Amino acid sequence: MHNSLLQAARGLVAIGARMDARGWVPASSGNLSARLSDQSMAITRSGVHKGRLTETDIIEVDLDGAPRHQADKPSAETLLHCQLYRHFPAVGAVLHGHSVAATALSMVTHEQSLVLQDYEILKAFPGVTTHQTVANVPVFDNDQDIARLAGQIAPSLDAAPIGYILRGHGVYAWGPDIERCFWRLEALEFLISCECERRQMR
Ligand SMILES: CSCCC(=O)C(=O)COP(=O)(O)O
Ligand SMILES: [Zn+2]
């Protein structure tokens, strides 16, 4: 394993454990990646538990989704990570989890986006300086055909600076590096949980 892959692997193993501690990666759900270059990324193998990763569960894949070593089987959702690295050159990490809040809320709303406003924590997102901000988090219908799903997502990416939700499935968040990506996912999950609680209180 070369140095930059090893460094990314260590970071992703640690973040997987933190996501698991929050209950965001039950069973073998979720996938985690970090950019290695403008042509490649490190991503989790398919089907492993993301809370109990080892460095050998992180593999190198090009931005078309092809593994460096043919025998390696990257995440089934690799193309969604490729799409984000290709679309946003400043993105250095992508995290995907299956939280209860995101899964349940996206199944009870039929809307195409979650509108978040007046929350102080919105200031955790890039460029936001006041709670008086309206942030849209797109909600896309889930699809087992990941290439087709990427095609559905593509036109909305510029309007999704925070992340997006796959209905009945989970959240994708991205950021400049693994740590700041985790913060954004944490803020987004916090907001989704607040929306769930608010709707129950009504
Ligand atoms: C058991 S979860 C179903 C697949 C999924 O949604 C997921 O996030 C994990 O897939 P992977 O191939 O990355 O392990
Ligand atoms: Zn998933």
Interface ipTM above 0.95: yes
Binding-site residue set: 96, 98
CATH class of 3-201: alpha beta
Kindly identify the ligand whose nearest atom is closest to the C-alpha of 78: 1
Torsion region of 168: left, alpha or beta (phi above 0 gives left; psi -120 to 50 gives alpha): left
Asked whether 103 lines ligand 1 (CB < 6 A), one says: no
Average pLDDT over residues 25-54: 98
Contact criterion met (CB below 8 Å) for 29 and 36: no
DSSP code of 51? T
Q: What is the pLDDT of residues 151-197, one digit of tens each?
A: 999 999 998 878 999 999 999 999 999 999 999 999 999 999 999 99
Residue with CA closest to ligand 1 atom 9: 29
Q: Which of 19, 24, 28 to mutate to test the pocket of ligand 1 (most atoms within 8 A of CB)?
A: 28
Q: What is the pLDDT of residues 87-130, one digit of tens each?
A: 999 999 999 999 999 999 999 999 999 999 999 999 999 999 99
Atom of ligand 1 at shortest range from CA of 77: 13
SS3 (DSSP) at 102: helix
